Amino acid sequence: MKIILAMFGIQFLIVLVTALSKIAAGSSESRDNKRISVITSEIEKIQRQDLFGDDKSEKSQRRRNARKIRLFAERELLFSKYND
């Protein structure tokens, strides 16, 4: 009898751990989706600054382009994380 109860206890723990890990993975995906949205809006903001901004100096343009490249790379990494 004790063996049967122990087996059910072990199975319950396995189910519980599996469920909690799925919940944690889901929240990670949600957090990544929010980050993708933020990155996309930042890229759009930089592109608007390039088109309509007052600061057209070469140094500012280089800085914006470097930031845009980093944001594109980060966004692609997040996309590839879930497209595998």
* pLDDT for res 25: 65
Q: Which residues of the chain have pLDDT under 70?
A: 24-26, 84
DSSP states along 9-56: HHHHHHHHHHHHHHHHHHHHHHHHHHHHHHHHHHHHHHHHHHHH-S--
* pLDDT for res 43: 94
